[in-house]
Amino acid sequence: MDQQQFDFVVIGGGIFGCYAASYLAKKGAKIALLEKESRLFRKASLVNQARLHSGYHYPRSLATAALSDEHKERFTSEHRQFVHSSFEKYYAIDRFGSFTDPLQFERFCARIHIPFQRVDAHPLFNFNRLEALYLTEEHSFDPVLLSRYYSEMVDNEPLITVFLDVQLNRALPDGDKWHIEFSQSTSLPSSHLHLVTPTVINATYAATNAVNAMFGVDRLALTHELSEIAFVVSREFGDRGLTVMDGPFGSIMPYGLSGLLSLSSVAYTHHKISYEDLPQFDCQIAEDPSCRPNAPGICTDCSRRPVSNAAKMLAQMRQYFSESVQFEHLFSYYTIKSKLKSSYIDDGRPTEISMLRQSPRFYCLFSGKINSIYEVEKIV
Ligand SMILES: Cc1cc2nc3c(=O)[nH]c(=O)nc-3n(C[C@H](O)[C@H](O)[C@H](O)COP(=O)(O)OP(=O)(O)OC[C@H]3O[C@@H](n4cnc5c(N)ncnc54)[C@H](O)[C@@H]3O)c2cc1C
């Protein structure tokens, strides 16, 4: 087996792995980017609500709210052509069962200096259910356009070599270097490769613990949810967004510049929950090696994905709208959403980057939100 030497091996070709690879290559480092699937950006970086967080969403986690705002401006200015910033975005509080009341929400927004304007009447909304409605400033990034942009960026960067269809077989430390062996399933005959590097960055999100285990470093305390994002359109609601805070409610908002609205709800988006370190679900079967707890697959493409909950999500969200507002469900995407167990306390979504081994070096990059890609610069 030929050995190839790299300054960094980045594992995981979502937005965090692609950003880390391109950031390091711009600094002159030679990078190998390893991705399990046949294309980059097929999982959480594609299947999400596309909310460019400004902080509104986290009234119980000032830290997450403040971090959202810290990176928002830079993310927007560097991705302007992929950000939808000209739609009306509303936040609302349900009259029943909210963890936040209007006074708390207003104080929270004032504390972190994010704009809000209370709206007392609006023909599109049902004020019998809404205790308070606010016009806010929140934007939406376009995951499909971001996927194209980052895929082209890593493909065209001479210092980055992208390996797709990767199956990691072995990782061993030897002095200050990692020796990583993997195969590429689609190559005929299937090829076996051996990379040598002083530094590994694990950016595999739902597969974080499987990769940590292969490198013999500590696991993170995670939970995993098999999640559905439904895509809908509405002639009456058009290109607007509504998020109902804070508790078992939901959100409907533009999915970037696509013309579609992404629909999700706390009660129905998450079909299955795995409290194990690895994402373990009853739809994973031994006969299908493309998805296992230690190597999860692409849920949207899977014939065993859950039956859509879009009708239930719509029934829940419909209560917040006037009777004249109708929605049509077109299709859904599915993926695994992974969270730090500690997030259950305050619903925060921190991005955690930890150096889990000093020599050879191993960084674990577990992301909370897309606009926190820049966190990698603080450490590496
Ligand atoms: C349902 C949902 C809604 C969300 N909504 C928002 C939102 O509105 N706004 C926001 O900012 N964030 C949101 N997030 C969070 C955000 O999407 C994630 O934080 C971010 O996309 C994670 O990016 P990533 O690159 O770390 O992971 P991913 O995009 O999942 O990429 C990880 C990659 O690693 C690959 N991989 C896994 N195992 C291996 C292996 N062994 N070898 C090689 N490659 C491997 C995978 O195939 C995958 O391509 C949401 C997430 C979900 C799931």
> What is the arrangement of strands in the sheet containing 199-202, beginning at the earlier edge strand?
160-163, 31-34, 8-11, 199-202, 361-366, 352-357
Q: Which helix (H) or strand (E) holds 11?
A: strand 8-11
Nearest-atom number in ligand 1 for the CA of 37 is 47
Q: Which pTM value belongs to this model?
A: 0.95
Say yes or no: domain 3-379 is CATH 3.40.630.30. Answer: no
Q: Residues with beta carbon inside 6 Å of ligand 1?
A: 11-17, 34-37, 42-45, 47-51, 53, 166, 168, 203-207, 211, 227, 229, 295, 335, 337, 367-371
What pLDDT sits at residue 1?
67
Looking at residues 200-215, what average pLDDT do you find?
98
Residue with tokens 């930890």: 354
Phi, psi of 239 (to 5 degrees): -100, 60
**368 C-alpha to ligand 1 centroid (Å):** 9
Q: Report which protein residue has its CA nearest ligand 1's atom 1.
A: 48
Q: Report which protein residue has its CA nearest ligand 1's atom 33.
A: 12
Select from 49, 84, 349 the residue to mutate for testing ligand 1; criterion: most ligand atoms less than 8 Å from CB.
49
Q: What is the pLDDT of residues 234-291, one digit of tens each?
A: 999 999 999 998 888 999 999 999 999 999 999 999 999 999 999 999 999 988 888 9
Structural contact between residues 265 and 314, judged by C-beta atoms closer than 8 angstroms:
no
What pLDDT sits at residue 41?
97
What pLDDT sits at residue 324?
96
Q: Which helix (H) or strand (E) holds 3?
A: strand 3-5
Nearest-atom number in ligand 1 for the CA of 204 is 34
Please give the Cα distance from 55 to 234 (Å, whole number): 26
- Residue 128: CA atoms inside 13 Å, Cβ hemisphere, count? 5
Q: What is the pLDDT of residues 77-96, one digit of tens each?
A: 999 999 999 999 999 999 99
Encode 310-327: b = buried (16+ Cβ within 10 Å), e = exposed.
beebbebbeebbeeebeb
> What is the arrangement of strands in the sheet containing 191-197, beginning at the earlier edge strand?
3-5, 191-197, 177-184, 166-174
**121 C-alpha to ligand 1 centroid (Å):** 38
Select from 10, 16, 209, 291 the residue to mutate for testing ligand 1; criterion: most ligand atoms less than 8 Å from CB.
16
Please give the Cα distance from 194 to 6 (Å, whole number): 11
* Residue spans per domain, the chain: 3-379
- Other C-beta atoms closer than 10 Å to the C-beta of 3 total 10
Q: What is the pLDDT of residues 306-322, one digit of tens each?
A: 999 999 999 999 999 99
Cα 21 → chain centroid: 18
Pairing of strands 8-11, 199-202: parallel
pLDDT higher than threshold 70 for residue 189: no
Output the CA torsion sign for 285, 288, 312, 122. Answer: positive
Output the CA torsion sign for 145, 146, 152, 155. Answer: negative
Q: Report which protein residue has its CA nearest ligand 1's atom 25.
A: 14
Residue with tokens 């950006």: 41
Which has more confidence, 205 or 344?
A: 205
> Looking at residue 150, what DSSP letter applies?
H
- Conformational region of residue 123, where left means phi above 0, alpha means psi within -120 to 50, and beta covers everything else: alpha
Q: Report which protein residue has its CA nearest ligand 1's atom 31.
A: 14
Please give the Cα distance from 135 to 138 (Å, whole number): 9
pLDDT higher than threshold 80 for residue 133: yes
Cα 139 → chain centroid: 16
